[in-house]
Amino acid sequence: MDVVSYSSAAARLSLVLSSSIRNPNGTLNFANPSFQFQPLKKNSYRFRLVLVSCVKPQKLGLYSANVKKVLNWKGKLKQHFPFGLVQFVVGVVLVMSVSIAVSRTPSSALTEENLLFLEAWRTIDRAYVDKKFNGQSWFRYREDALRKEPTKNREETYTAIRKMLATLNDPFTRFLEPEKFKSLRSGTQGALTGVGLSIGYPIGFDGSPAGLVVISSTPGAPAYRSGIMSGDVILAIDGTSTETMGIYDAAERLQGPEGSSVELTILSGPETKQMALKRERVSLNPVTSRLCEVAAVGKDTSRIGYIKLTTFNQNASRAVKEAIETLRSNNVNAFVLDLRDNSGGLFPEGIEIAKIWLDKGVIVYICDSQGVRDIYEADGNNAIATSEPLAVLVNKGTASASEILAGALKDNKRAVVYGEPTYGKGKIQSVFELSDGSGMAVTVARYETPAHTDIDKVGVIPDHPLPTSFPKKEDDFCSCLKDSASACYLNKVKLFSR
């Protein structure tokens, strides 16, 4: 998942209940209203204006006084207009006055649980990418939910919020209880306690087995050591089928106390495996690097800097810069950036890493339902490696922020891309913190590459394939450039050629 930012919705509570309606004369704005127009009978022009906000009791006298003025006004009207018309006009004014007076009487105040629900509703109203809200009236849903959904305690409120989000039919927009929200933040900060798997929904494969697909396995983590690879399918976790399990429910089940065990049923190719993994604290060091010396005709050696980027956490761009500077000190004359099995992370880090390699050009277009709403571009201020030849390696485990980076480097002709089509997640989420410490991940936009390619469910298409036996371990990378007899051999000259 790409996370744009963390936001707190608590500061905006004063705006949660504000709304407006349009009438023929303009826009009427009230604080905390619910407008309910009810025709009383056919050909009647009377209506009731029902307000859910409360007023101070002493103001009721004002409405009573208004009724007396209406009755006095009736006598004056009789002198100039027919009796029937006077009766009709006075009736309308009285109905409006009495309705307002009744509805302005003190009612039960909004509870803390109501306010939390409305805070979540307003966050979606403002931030969600689809302003049609999956074909429903979002304001109507609020009114119906406040009347019908039980919110007597915090768990009922959480259930009401989850039910509300489910109506969007978006698997990436979801509610996070306080502990889950805290866990998500810790994951982007560099460490998790679990087995080291990034998982997602199978995309684009007809007849795929039911379950959750492994996008990537963190090098050195328990799952990686057990041989779980990108493309494997998790059929069950601790005996519970994943057939209808959400990815975030699955992620929670995979995490747990350090030293505890989790049992997985894995489908790897045609083989089904049962394995027990012990959870560990997984350090998400985002970058490893190597220097490869390759013999070249007419020169002593060609020195290639290999950089493997495994995740986009808050340390990623700094770590990439450090790797480039270290390799530069060893006089490299070309770079390989390996994004295979990198399932994404923080969106801003993806942008910053693109700026390292680009001196100019569009990085990504951010789009909503109305079209392009924002453009991220490189201006050269953060560029440190814009001239050396660059190759980028991708596979079906390359997702989210990795796809943004690969697409930017490809479309700007800064790099040659090798591998297989990437995962195809063209949506971006922001994470919003609610006032009680819970949160929501909300799909706030889709994106297009600099060539205006929408990669959702398609992926970034590489320029060239990699040899099928090309290794994923950085220690084995150099041998595939050196040994022409190897099945994974890749000619150095071809590596940087389109």
Domain map (residue ranges) of the chain: 113-169, 192-281, 287-496
**Residues 6+ away with beta carbon under 8 Å from 134:** 167, 168, 169, 170
Nearest Cα neighbor of 261 from 240, 246, 278, 242 is: 278
- CA angle (491 as vertex; 490, 495 as ends), nearest 5: 80
Q: Which residue has the higher pLDDT, 182 or 26?
A: 182
For residues 417 and 54, the model is more confident at: 417
The percentage of the chain sitting over the pLDDT mark of 70, rounded to a whole number, equals 73
Distance CA 466, CA 471 (A): 10
Residue 359 burial (CB count, 10 A): 17
Out of 3.40.718.10, 1.10.8.50, 3.30.750.44, 3.40.50.11720, the CATH code matching 113-169 is 3.30.750.44
pLDDT confidence of residue 35: 28
Mean pLDDT value across residues 14-41: 30
Q: Are 263 and 244 in contact (CB under 8 A)?
A: no
Q: Looking at 34-43, 251-260, 277-286, 461-470, which range is the least confident one?
A: 34-43
Element (H, E) at 277: strand 271-278
* Banded model confidence at residue 42, pLDDT cuts 50, 70, 90: very low
CATH classification of 192-281 is 2.30.42.10, yes or no? Answer: yes
Q: Global pTM?
A: 0.64
| Nearest in space to 165 (alpha carbons), one of 382, 359, 435, 440 | 440
Q: Does the pLDDT at position 191 exceed 90?
A: no
- Section 423-434 average pLDDT: 91
DSSP count for the chain of H helices, then E strands: 14, 21
Q: What is the CA radius of gyration of the chain?
A: 30
> Quick check: is 425 catalytic?
yes
Longest dimension (CA), the chain: 112
Annotated catalytic residue: which of 230, 400, 430, 438? Answer: 400
**Structural element, H or E, at residue 477:** helix 474-482
**Around 227, how many Cα atoms within 13 Å sit in the side-chain half-sphere?**
11
Q: Which of 180, 396, 410, 425 is catalytic?
A: 425
First to last CA, the chain: 31
Residue 329 annotated in active site: no
Enter the CATH code of domain 287-496.
3.90.226.10
